[in-house]
Structure 1
């Protein structure tokens, strides 16, 4: 029998969080051991934020619903549903949702997201 050349992901890895953010990794380190790319569906609650970080991966974000704020070096950028952004690796960034509605989005990282590669500030 020939090996299938596709993978259907019905059970994404639910990343445990303490900040109310929902992270469902469909492909990546945690879900299938892939170190080349990660794909995650996320929902950031209203008022959510992360510390600044300087990731060692490129990150692509596509906003499905709501708004998300990015502070990229000295620029403050707000994306809304239907917009996307690529942030190059080794760029200092902070992600947040200072708005009143949750933000639903997709994040793709190359190489795959790893907390060890995020370089979050204390």
Structure 2
């Protein structure tokens, strides 16, 4: 029995907003219980508020990322990380002039039906 899995071909999630999402583990790749994704949010990027049914951990590799969590604005820089509890209203954005590269981990694994984005 093999005790490990090396991911050399992450699933690139199709997007229309210029954001790169490479899922290494998760529902799109191997039905893992968690999802692990490498992301690059372009400058001036944002998405609607959402209230996900999963915990989300974010580690910033390069640039900065803005979070509005329950009406509190937080800005993380390279080398910083955050854990956001499930069922928390949050908006993710990169209002800055440079891209933001980061790793996101969701538990349970990301699934669009669990995000609950606002219109």
Same fold (TM over 0.5): yes
2:38 corresponds to: 41
Could you say what the CA RMSD is over the residues aligned between the two structures, in angstroms? 0.4
SS at match of 2:75: strand
2:73 corresponds to: 76
Structure with the larger helix share: 1
Q: What is the CA–CA distance in structure 2 between the aligned matches of 1:49 and 1:113, rounded to whole Å?
A: 18
Q: What is the CA–CA distance in structure 2 between the aligned matches of 1:22 and 1:53, rounded to whole Å?
A: 19
1:60 equivalent in alignment to 2:57: yes
Q: What is the CA–CA distance in structure 2 between the aligned matches of 1:104 and 1:91, rounded to whole Å?
A: 23
Q: What is the CA–CA distance in structure 2 between the aligned matches of 1:102 and 1:64, rounded to whole Å?
A: 11
- After TM superposition, the structure 1 = structure 2 runs for residues 13-24 of structure 1, keeping only pairs within 5 Å, are 13-24=11-22
SS at match of 2:29: helix
- After TM superposition, the structure 1 = structure 2 runs for residues 89-100 of structure 1, keeping only pairs within 5 Å, are 89-100=86-97
Q: What is the CA–CA distance in structure 2 between the aligned matches of 1:70 and 1:31, rounded to whole Å?
A: 27
Q: What is the CA–CA distance in structure 2 between the aligned matches of 1:43 and 1:70, rounded to whole Å?
A: 15
**Structure 2 gap ranges (5+):** none
Give TM-score, length-normalised by structure 1: 0.97
The alpha carbon displacement at 1:101 in A equals 0.2
